Structures are given as C-alpha cells and as structure tokens.
C-alpha cells in the first residue's frame, strides 16, 4: 500500500482477510479482531461493518441505514464515511 485510501460515497469498503468481525457469545458483544488489537464496535458501527462486504458502495450502505433508522441520507452518509475513513487509516478497512 503506497497511498492513503480515501473513503468517498462511491468507495466499496471491505474488511481485509486478517480483520475479523464476529459476535462473541461470552461478552454478548460484537468484536473486531485486528493485529494486536481488539475493538468493541458500538451498535451503529456494527451495522456499518456488517455491510462492508466488498460489493456495496458507501452510498448504498448509507441508503440502507438511512431507511432502517429513518434518518437523513446525507447525515448517515457523512457518519459512515467518517467512521470508515478512521478505520481505513488504521488499516482495519480496505476500499
């Protein structure tokens, strides 16, 4: 990787092979396992991460979530981009 990945509405985010999102039965919480890090994503982050499947664009993820939570599309899209840019900068999300 030689450039910073920039997340925009047309980006297609995915979790790299070495990043694992799974539900931990013991803690009853989703966990994101990354190299030498364990993240406990909040409810909204989980909704977003579960849709980072390498085929949906940010725009379509935002559309789905805006409908699900009955929130303005632009606002949701801005939040999705902000979260995924932060994770992309840490190497946790690829796009």
Least gap, CB of 49 to other proteins (angstroms): 16
Q: Does 1 bind other proteins (CB under 8 A)?
A: yes
Buried b (16+ CB within 10 A) or exposed e, 24-37: eeeeeebbbebeee
7-26 mask for other proteins (x: CB under 8 A)? ---------xxx-x-x-x-x
| Nearest in space to 36 (alpha carbons), one of 19, 21, 14 | 19
Q: Does 82 bind other proteins (CB under 8 A)?
A: no
Q: Does 84 bind other proteins (CB under 8 A)?
A: no
Figure out which of the listed residues 9, 12, 31, 44 binds other proteins, where binding follows CB under 8 A: 31
Q: Would you call 92 exposed, middle or buried from its count of C-beta atoms within 10 A (0-12, 13-18, 19+)?
A: buried
Q: Does 28 bind other proteins (CB under 8 A)?
A: no
> Which residue has 């009853």 as its token pair?
28
């Amino acid at each position: 990787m030689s450039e910073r990945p920039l997340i925009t509405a047309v980006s297609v985010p995915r979790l790299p092979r070495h990043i694992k999102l799974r539900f931990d039965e013991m803690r009853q919480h989703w966990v994101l396992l990354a190299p030498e890090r364990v993240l406990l994503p909040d409810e909204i982050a989980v909704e977003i991460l579960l849709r980072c499947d390498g085929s949906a664009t940010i725009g379509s993820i935002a559309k789905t979530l805006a409908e699900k939570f009955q929130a303005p599309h632009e606002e949701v899209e801005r939040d999705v981009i902000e979260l995924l840019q932060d994770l992309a900068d840490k190497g946790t999300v690829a796009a």
